[in-house]
């Protein structure tokens, strides 16, 4: 069956998730962190299912949680965010062990898992919820994020669509969104392929596409 991407694909994440979802709760099933406090980082790269998959492959990342950031509404639902009625962006909170992986590496992975030129969209998903963004949690993270964005603008010789926004709050998405790529591989891989994510990443990044470590 041929898909009409302009009409049907932007709704795929909602359709695929809710068709098989149980009761929605704003809880995360990501792995709990024991021991010394870890550091965290927040990234928006389009569909949070795909961003979560990318960071779960990174050595030193100890937990990932899909959720929302950037808007004023507290504890928004997926339906509220995806409708475009809030200013929230789909994001992933990445908790990591700084003795095993640093923020610079997380930024390297971020860039190579997005289309850096897109504005208010990523791949087939369109609208503010799919804006690519970095949410620095302190001044050091902001400085590194801005430096990498400048480097990307110089590398490609064109304007970069990624926003760097103040981090204020993170709200976890409903439980059925957490680890979706792992729990629902058939439906996830259909969405990812139909959305053109892998093809576009190859077009932009070549051998660097979908990196999960620095060379």
Catalytic (active site) residue 47: yes
| Angstrom distance (rounded) from CA 111 to CA 72 | 26
Beta carbons of 191 and 13 less than 8 angstroms apart = yes
| Angstrom distance (rounded) from CA 41 to CA 50 | 16
| Angstrom distance (rounded) from CA 22 to CA 138 | 37
Mapped onto helix, strand or coil, the DSSP state of residue 122 is strand
Query: Which is the catalytic residue, given 47, 50, 124, 195?
Result: 47
| Angstrom distance (rounded) from CA 208 to CA 72 | 36
CA 145 to each of CA 38, 162, 164, 172, 180: distance values in angstroms, whole numbers, following the listed order:
19, 10, 7, 23, 27
* Residues forming the active site: 47
């Amino acid at each position: 069956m041929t898909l009409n991407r302009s009409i049907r694909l932007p709704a795929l994440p909602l359709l695929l998730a809710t068709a098989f979802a149980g009761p929605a709760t704003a809880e995360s099933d990501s792995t709990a962190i024991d021991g010394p406090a870890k550091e965290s980082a927040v990234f928006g790269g389009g569909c949070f299912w795909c961003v979560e998959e990318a960071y779960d492959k990174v050595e030193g990342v100890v937990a990932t949680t899909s959720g929302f950031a950037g808007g004023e509404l507290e504890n928004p639902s997926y339906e509220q965010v995806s409708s475009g009625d809030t200013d929230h962006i789909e994001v992933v909170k990445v908790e990591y062990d700084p003795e095993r992986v640093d923020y610079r590496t997380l930024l390297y992975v971020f860039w190579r898992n997005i289309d850096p030129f897109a504005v208010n969209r990523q791949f087939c998903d369109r609208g503010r919820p799919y804006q690519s963004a970095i949410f620095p949690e302190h001044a050091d993270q902001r400085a590194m994020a801005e430096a990498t964005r400048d480097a990307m603008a110089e590398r490609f010789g064109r304007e970069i669509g990624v926003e760097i926004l103040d981090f204020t709050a993170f709200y976890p998405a409903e439980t059925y969104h957490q680890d979706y790529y792992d729990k629902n591989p058939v439906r996830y891989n259909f969405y990812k392929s139909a959305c053109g994510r892998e093809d576009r990443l190859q077009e932009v990044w070549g051998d660097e596409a979908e990196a999960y470590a620095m060379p």
